[in-house]
Structure 1
Amino acid sequence: MVVLRLCVRLLSIVSLFIMARLLVPEDYGIVALAMSFYAILDVVTTFNFDLPLIQNQQATKDDYNTAWSLNILMGLFIAIGLLIGCYPIASLFNEPQLVPIFLCLAGMAIIQGFTNIGVVNFRKELNLKKEFNFEFGKKILSFLVTVGAGLLLKSYWALVFGMITNCLAGLILSFIMSSYRPSLSLKSWRSLLSFSKWMLFTNVLLYANNRLMMLIVGSSLNTKILGNYSMMKEVADITTVELVLPIQKALFPGYSKLTDDKPQLAQVFLNSIAMIAFFGVPIATTLAALNEHFVITLLGEKWLSESWMLKIFCLAGAFSLVTGATLSIYYALAKPQIVTAILFIQGAIRISLFSYFIIQGYITEALLSILVTAILSTALSLVISCRLLSLPVFQLLWPLTRTTLSAVLLMASLLLLTKWFPLQYNFFIDFLSMSVMTLIGIVVYTVCHFSLWYFTYNSQNTAYCSKATGAESIIIQLVKPKLSALRLRLST
């Protein structure tokens, strides 16, 4: 699942960097504005029926057919909403280009609703090779269409055509790759909604914590700033938040099979959090520290003036990584209402602060409010997770503390290195400088992390430091047999 997401996001990064040089911020702004309204309709109709199908190990054919039928109805609802609202919204924002975009998005919603529900079994049965082929197949086709249309049209239509291709490819591949053939039925709607109603609330709150920010920026500021905001957030999400999604998809069905063995579930949870933080936090920290080098090298000079946004988004993404890693445990334990509660608290604080600062014209402070609320939600989620699994809080926090201290040292070293490797506004020189600084930062982070673990491992008070839990122990257990085999091979 991690390889899948890396491949998908690699294509996204390549597409993003190509399109960033072909299009202007205004193009991204108009599509981001249209997608914000699409997301409003999508969020109030997305019940994530795949989750109860995975969580319920005895789901019936009626459950699958009902889920497919409800997805079709939700797609039609989105399409009708877009058709009704296209002209009023275009007039409200004085953007006539929104009308044809909305028409295309309406067709996309209908196509997506008919996707075969049988693909849910790829994850439920942990047949992740099929999941890889399905998701990567959609992405590669979408990538080819987006880049090809971008080279030919050099307009925002390339982005729209790419999204439609992704949905159409998903529809076709879902029926090719899954032998399940759904039929229209609503027999199990009550049992599905008993779980999925919380997913609706969660999706609304996720929208409020993400897409609503774009609407606030778009309504108060110009499309150029919105385009910069959208681009920097997308880049940050690719390298931070998106990293945890494939792990969540794999952990959720795995957690669901361990709910009857709480000690084993708790240990798997601890190891998962530690590993996600170990690999995800330094990526976010490095990108935050080298934001100017990254932007000018891979996006172009026209995006450089707003590269500071990338720094804040990446730091917030580092905390969101840890928060996101805890969500699967709530779903596996059939407690989706906890996710809803956490997102509600975060959203209430974030939207209030963000709106206030944007109205006052304080863009920097508005983005900092995203970082602050990300920290608060992470702390809250970790405490609740420990209570559910009967874990001492310190047993979870100490591995994360090692990661935090190592990330602080990483950030300090990279900021120092940027003084020695300033921007030269030359692609090859700046790319080489960024690569060298990144390699040095990786060494600093790894040495610091393992040093802290080593001293903990050899300390007398190891009972509270949980020396057996942590990314370092897992990595050593994975690497040690391979090194032993290599040493034996070399000796012979």
Structure 2
Amino acid sequence: MAQDSTPATHTLSARASRGFAWMLVQTLGSKIAGFVSQVFLARLLMPKDFGLVAIAYIAASLPTVLRQTGVPQILIQKGDRFDRWANSAFWMEMATGGVATLMVLAAAPIAAWAYHAPELAGLLIVISAFTGLSALGTVPTAKMSRDLRFRELALLGAGTNVLAAAISVACAFSGLGAYSFVIPMPICMGLRAIAAWWLAPVRVRWQPQLYRWWAMAADSGRLMVVGLCYLVQVQADKLALSIWHGKATLGRYFFATNLSSQIVQLLALNLGSVLFPVLSTLKEDTPRQVAAYLRASRALALAGVPICLAEVVLARPIILVIFGPKWIAAAAVLQVAALAAGVQLAGSSAANLLQAQGRFHAAMLWSLASAATFTVLVFLCSFSGGAVLVAVGGAVCALLVIPAQMLSAIRPGAGRAGDVASVYLPPLFLSVLALAPVGLLEVFVPWFDHHAAVTLVLGAIVTPAIYLPLAWTLRRAEMGELLRHAGPIGRVLRRAGFS
């Protein structure tokens, strides 16, 4: 597909890349703190604690669908008319947040009875407070996204995420068990909402302007379906395991899939938060919009796919050295989930492109197809086997749906199947070359004392030493794009000789 080279395109590309750099810096800090907290939680808690909190998230998921109204996307799409719609959007969010809170509270005793776990009631009461507070900051946060104020969004996200990690570890040391996961949620969400209103105040009146709610309802309804489908894909596998398997099995699966999703959250979700508002400014020029999306996706895949594949190769050493032998049964789940994460990473922002094009109906249909496929596969796999087979079902769903969704999203801009292949194949080929030495060591060298630690250290040194020069030599355009606009990370790498 031809690349657009107009000055406006480069300006928006630079703004998107700088925004992504800020969000990447935020998430690097957040994920480092989150990873450290996950290590402590894995060492201090048992698999059944992870399983218990996974069940609590399942029980809270259906009521929280009401929070998936798509109000941020709708407001961002309004552009210069944001202020006209902000008041009604705020009251719509407060109404749905209040109803969702009551529904989570109502689900608490039912879940405790259904799973024979009295602790679930308390966990869900804490989660209900988070559900209500999450509505408060939606409108000012959307305003910052509309204005492309990614620096403020990054600092806001980093501060609250680091605080949440610290509170979680403190709770685990205090012996609070599964509560260590949920207690930080309402505290940090409340502080985040206060900070968002201080950074981006929005004029709110006491009139809820109900007539505007109906005007937003069509797009909001479609986006709510998209949100429901997302929650299905987040929770259906865990629900299936909770029906046919014990809390410990579910806990190990929850632990492994959370670990594998770190790179997706680090890169793809932050790209989406930047890409949607930037692509929305190009909604009248579809070829440029698609070209910008493909550039971002190729750069994203080049950065993230090798990390996902490294998790596949190094899953056992990672768990033994960092998290402890009690989690070794989760290694195979981590390997399969990391493969799925690599597919999701490169293609996850296709939904952002569809929404930026205003194709909310198409986004809804793809979400429905993905959720239905995922649910059928993971339930069949859970009934037929255990956690590893459920992870395989999720990976198969990703391989079937995500590349097809990408192709659908780029078709209006003359995108082709070859463009989708150009996102996945180069980083896959380079990653296999870079990981081959440590993979051979892990598979063929007989086990010896400290084998896992030696393998992990060599993987951390040898793999990037091979991958980065190869990527710079063979994929110079994508690497240059990353380094030019990666903020402080790019400056460090350029000083190291990648320029």
Question: Please, what TM-score do these two structures have when normalized by structure 2?
Answer: 0.87
The 1:253/1:478 distance shift into structure 2, 3 A limit, reads closer
What letter is aligned with 1:471? E
Q: Which residue of 1 aligns with 2:87?
A: 65
CA distance in 1 between counterparts of 2:446 and 2:77 reads 51
Give, in angstroms, the shift of residue 9 of structure 1: 1.6
Q: Which residue of 1 aligns with 2:4?
A: none
CA distance in 2 between counterparts of 1:378 and 1:413 reads 30
CA distance in 2 between counterparts of 1:376 and 1:330 reads 18
Q: Which residue of 2 aligns with 1:298?
A: 322
What letter is aligned with 1:209? Q
Q: Which residue of 1 aligns with 2:433?
A: 409
Q: Which residue of 1 aligns with 2:41?
A: 19
What letter is aligned with 1:367? A
Q: Which residue of 2 aligns with 1:119?
A: 141
What letter is aligned with 1:4? Q
Secondary structure at the counterpart of residue 384 of structure 1: helix
Secondary structure at the counterpart of residue 59 of structure 1: helix
Give, in angstroms, the shift of residue 278 of structure 1: 0.2
CA distance in 2 between counterparts of 1:383 and 1:350 reads 19
CA distance in 2 between counterparts of 1:29 and 1:298 reads 20
Q: Which residue of 1 aligns with 2:157?
A: 135
CA distance in 2 between counterparts of 1:172 and 1:279 reads 34
Give, in angstroms, the shift of residue 85 of structure 1: 2.3
CA distance in 2 between counterparts of 1:130 and 1:478 reads 17
What letter is aligned with 1:108? F
The runs of at least 4 consecutive aligned structure 1 residues that moved more than 6 Å come to 420-423, 476-479
Q: Which residue of 2 aligns with 1:250?
A: 274
- Which one of the candidate residues 204, 218, 224 is aligned to 1:182? 204
Structure 1 residue 337 and structure 2 residue 344: aligned?
A: no
Give, in angstroms, the shift of residue 482 of structure 1: 8.4
- The answer to whether the 8 A contact 1:12-1:143 is kept is yes
The 1:478/1:189 distance shift into structure 2, 3 A limit, reads closer
Q: Which residue of 1 aligns with 2:3?
A: none
CA distance in 2 between counterparts of 1:384 and 1:251 reads 18
Q: Which residue of 2 aligns with 1:465?
A: none
Superposed counterparts of 1:364-443, under 5 Å: 364-419=388-443, 430-443=452-465
The 1:98/1:147 distance shift into structure 2, 3 A limit, reads same
The RMSD of aligned alpha carbons is 2.7
Superposed counterparts of 1:73-472, under 5 Å: 73-115=95-137, 117-184=139-206, 185=208, 186-419=210-443, 430-449=452-471, 452-453=474-475, 470-472=477-479
What letter is aligned with 1:417? L
CA distance in 2 between counterparts of 1:278 and 1:66 reads 41
Structure 1 portions without partners, runs of 5+: 455-469, 488-492
- The answer to whether the 8 A contact 1:241-1:317 is kept is no
CA distance in 1 between counterparts of 2:449 and 2:146 reads 49
What letter is aligned with 1:162? P
Of the structure 1 ranges 369-378 and 153-162, higher mean CA displacement relative to structure 2 is found in: 153-162
- The answer to whether the 8 A contact 1:259-1:333 is kept is yes
CA distance in 2 between counterparts of 1:132 and 1:60 reads 22
Secondary structure at the counterpart of residue 375 of structure 1: helix
Secondary structure at the counterpart of residue 204 of structure 1: helix
Structure possessing the higher radius of gyration over alpha carbons: 1
- The answer to whether the 8 A contact 2:60-2:107 is kept is no
Give, in angstroms, the shift of residue 33 of structure 1: 0.5
The 1:378/1:154 distance shift into structure 2, 3 A limit, reads same
Give, in angstroms, the shift of residue 395 of structure 1: 4.0
Give, in angstroms, the shift of residue 477 of structure 1: 7.1
Structure 1 residue 474 and structure 2 residue 498: aligned?
A: no
Of the structure 1 ranges 327-336 and 54-63, higher mean CA displacement relative to structure 2 is found in: 54-63
Give, in angstroms, the shift of residue 96 of structure 1: 0.9
